[in-house]
């Protein structure tokens, strides 16, 4: 068992369930929104953005060791690009990352991330 990592939360939960209790995991997921709400189920993303970014960056641009498997929007998020009326499916707005580097980056920078600033 472990204590929830959210400051002030005393809840205990099984250590196999991540770093937050169920209540705080649900809150974090809601803050991020679904993949559809974030625009990732569009044809432009799957047919244009993702393949182009992974072809351009076959090796993770952060660790420069592992194969890129995730096309990450960078330096602006997909939502920011859309809000600025920019094409979020343009590969110039992305970078190729391996899953561990993507997960760490998301945890730091996205709403609901365990280490969000």
Q: How far apart are CA 26 and CA 52, in angstroms?
A: 33
Higher pLDDT, 44 or 60: 60
For the ranges 7-16, 28-37, 68-77, 88-97, which has the lowest average pLDDT? 28-37
Q: Compute the average pLDDT of residues 1-22.
A: 84
Q: How far apart are CA 42 and CA 60, in angstroms?
A: 24
Q: How far apart are CA 5 and CA 13, in angstroms?
A: 11
pLDDT at 26: 84
Q: State pLDDT tens for residues 56-113.
A: 999 999 999 999 999 999 999 888 998 999 999 899 999 999 999 998 888 887 655 5
- CB neighbour list of residue 21: distance below 8 Å, 6 or more residues apart: 4, 6, 9, 11, 12, 13
């Amino acid at each position: 068992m472990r204590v929830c990592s959210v400051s002030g939360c005393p809840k205990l939960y099984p250590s196999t369930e991540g770093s937050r209790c169920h209540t705080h995991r649900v809150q974090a997921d809601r803050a991020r929104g679904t993949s559809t709400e974030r625009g990732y189920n569009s044809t432009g993303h799957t047919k244009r953005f993702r393949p182009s970014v992974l072809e351009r960056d076959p090796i993770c641009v952060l660790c420069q060791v592992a194969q890129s498997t995730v096309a990450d929007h960078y330096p602006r998020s997909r939502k920011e690009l859309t809000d600025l009326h920019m094409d979020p499916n343009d590969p110039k707005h992305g970078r190729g990352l391996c899953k561990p580097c993507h997960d760490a980056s998301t945890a730091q920078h996205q709403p609901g991330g365990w280490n969000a600033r």
